[in-house]
């Protein structure tokens, strides 16, 4: 039997990673944060002084990244970089290199290798359209730009970091526009994906919605 995949796509700061990880935990499935691979490539480029428009060098880095996902942490060359890859500058860099066809091609098979029994929950921007087009369940998880900016702002403040709400909103809107306009695997809702707007939902409500949709498919045998 084909290993089931729940593909959750959506814009930056929509909460798709949190929801995906919790759904994976509830189902006992593997979890892939596809965005982490792009963030890791951006971090590696920054550390190795690779320009973000050097497509060939970035693709080579993506192919050979010494990365591990273990203990809910992300490791690069034996170092825990879980916090470093969440920095705003790394996120913006990841968005830029994600528009490069060679980088996306380099990471494609690495992502598909995470599809292992008993199942996989993955989040990103092209999980249901490109990486796992035969996913059992495809979800486009989103929220208003204002709500996403507010969540990110509170997250940074709670971590003791300084933050400017308007700047965060501007960055999110700029990234949305860039992700939607890129020529390769643009951010969009696929025709066969269910839309989940979490603007007015709690994390638990979003998780229960996804689980309900998946269980309905299992019961119906689809």
The annotation status of 16 as a binding-site residue, yes or no, is yes
The annotation status of 124 as a binding-site residue, yes or no, is no
The annotation status of 133 as a binding-site residue, yes or no, is no
Strand partners for 141? 196
Distance CA 14, CA 206 (A): 11
Phi, psi for 177 (deg, rounded to 5): -65, -40
The annotation status of 91 as a binding-site residue, yes or no, is no
The annotation status of 95 as a binding-site residue, yes or no, is no
The annotation status of 102 as a binding-site residue, yes or no, is no
Long-range contacts of 42-51 (CB under 8 A, 24+ apart): 42/85, 42/90, 42/91, 42/93, 42/94, 42/96, 42/97, 43/76, 43/81, 43/84, 43/85, 43/90, 43/93, 44/76, 45/93, 45/97, 46/89, 46/90, 46/93
The annotation status of 17 as a binding-site residue, yes or no, is yes
The annotation status of 93 as a binding-site residue, yes or no, is no
The annotation status of 28 as a binding-site residue, yes or no, is no
Q: Which residues are annotated as a binding site?
A: 10-18
Q: Which residues are annotated as a binding site for ATP?
A: 10-18
């Amino acid at each position: 039997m084909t290993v089931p995949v729940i593909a959750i796509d959506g814009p930056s700061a929509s909460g798709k990673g949190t929801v995906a990880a919790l759904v994976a935990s509830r189902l006992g499935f593997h979890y892939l944060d596809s965005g982490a691979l792009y963030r890791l490539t951006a971090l590696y480029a920054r550390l190795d002084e690779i320009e973000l428009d050097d497509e060939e060098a970035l693709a080579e880095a993506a192919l050979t990244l010494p990365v591990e996902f273990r203990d809910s942490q992300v490791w690069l060359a034996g170092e825990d970089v879980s916090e470093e890859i969440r920095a705003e500058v790394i996120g913006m860099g990841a968005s830029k290199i994600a528009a490069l066809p060679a980088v996306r091609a380099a990471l494609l098979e690495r992502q598909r290798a995470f599809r292992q029994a008993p199942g996989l929950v993955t989040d990103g921007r092209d999980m249901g359209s490109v990486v796992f087009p035969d996913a059992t369940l495809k979800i486009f998880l989103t929220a208003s730009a204002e709500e996403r900016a507010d969540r990110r702002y509170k997250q940074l403040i709670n971590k003791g970091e300084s933050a400017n709400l308007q700047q965060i909103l501007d960055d999110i809107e700029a990234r949305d526009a860039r992700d939607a306009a890129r020529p390769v695997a643009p951010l969009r809702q696929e025709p066969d994906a269910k839309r989940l707007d979490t603007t007015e939902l709690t994390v638990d409500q979003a998780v229960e919605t996804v689980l309900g949709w998946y269980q309905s498919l299992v019961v119906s045998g689809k």
